[in-house]
Amino acid sequence: LFEFLSAEVSCSFMARACLSFFGLWSSKKPQVVRCPPNEQALADLLGEHEVDTSSWGDGKAKPVASLLRELREGSCSLRIDQTKKLLRWVEPVFVQITYNGKVLVERMKVFPNGSQRVHATVLAEKKWRDDATTVDAAIRGMREELSVEISKETEGLVHSPLENICFVESMDSASYPGVPAIYDTTFMRFNIQPGSMAERAFRDCGLPACKPFETVEQKVE
């Protein structure tokens, strides 16, 4: 469930984002590791870097196969830092969509098992290997989550690069214990101009009346 809300939501969200900066990464980007060809090769790579996978697949920890799937689909990569530490590198992109002073917010998400999560957040996507830039990831995210036919060239869909907020943070991973997660995060804004092609593209997203609407996420295989 999505809805265009007061711009105050945007200010609050960005303030929380700025306050969440911790464990900032100060070095240059580590060397990318080629995706292993199979699960055993990945397990061997983890072993070479002294990662204990005995608890993987228990509790919140995901199995080795899940990490291999993420690597194959390009939603993360493995990298080695200057100390030879193995890292899982993820590039989240948070997309603030504005229209007439209001911000598009996801109010609730319903999962395939029927469970619900009530929240208030802007659209979020991960930059995948096939995304040339974070803007391409943002456009793909809008197309998949909102079912809108748009591109970077859509008239009236305005992105201001100077407003981007970018930072890198390091966190311990509950999903893959022993492999620190590095989040190379970008916050960006797209403004939909009234009367434009972009406004018409978002007509099923409550525009121009800013009515609440529901979507079914369409993942691109």
Residue 113 has pLDDT above 70, yes or no: yes
The dihedral sign for the CA sequence 197, 200, 206, 209: positive
| pLDDT at residue 221, as a whole number | 44
Query: What pTM does this model have?
Result: 0.83
Rounded Cα distance between 113 and 100, Å, is: 36
194: nearest Cα among 183, 204, 209, 214: 209
Q: Return the minimum-mean-pLDDT range out of 11-25, 37-51, 169-183.
A: 11-25
DSSP for 28-51 reads PPPEEEPPPSSHHHHHHHHHHTT-
Instruction: Work out the pLDDT band at 50, boundaries 50, 70, 90.
Output: very high
DSSP 75: S
Please list the residues that pair with 33 across neighbouring strands.
Answer: 78
For the residues 105-118, what does the mean pLDDT come to? Answer: 80
| pLDDT at residue 34, as a whole number | 95
Instruction: Work out the pLDDT band at 19, boundaries 50, 70, 90.
Output: very low
Q: Return the minimum-mean-pLDDT range out of 35-44, 160-169, 195-204.
A: 160-169
For the residues 62-81, what does the mean pLDDT come to? Answer: 96
Rounded Cα distance between 100 and 173, Å, is: 39
**Strands, E, within 49-180: which ranges?**
77-80, 86-90, 92-99, 102-110, 116-121, 123-126, 157-159, 165-171
Residue 24 has pLDDT above 80, yes or no: no
Instruction: Work out the pLDDT band at 16, boundaries 50, 70, 90.
Output: very low
Residues 143-189 have pLDDT tens digits of 999 999 999 999 999 999 999 999 999 999 999 999 999 999 999 99
The alpha carbon of residue 28 and the mean position of all alpha carbons in its chain are separated, in whole angstroms, by 21
Q: 64-73 and 39-48 are packed helices; what angle lies between their axes, rounded to 10 degrees?
A: 110
Instruction: Work out the pLDDT band at 218, boundaries 50, 70, 90.
Output: low
For the residues 124-143, what does the mean pLDDT come to? Answer: 96
Q: Is 101 left (phi over 0), alpha (psi -120 to 50) or beta?
A: left
| pLDDT at residue 21, as a whole number | 41
| pLDDT at residue 76, as a whole number | 97
Rounded Cα distance between 90 and 185, Å, is: 8
Query: Is residue 53 within 8 Å of residue 64, measured between CB atoms?
Result: yes
Helix %, strand %, coil % for the chain, to 5?
Answer: 25, 30, 45
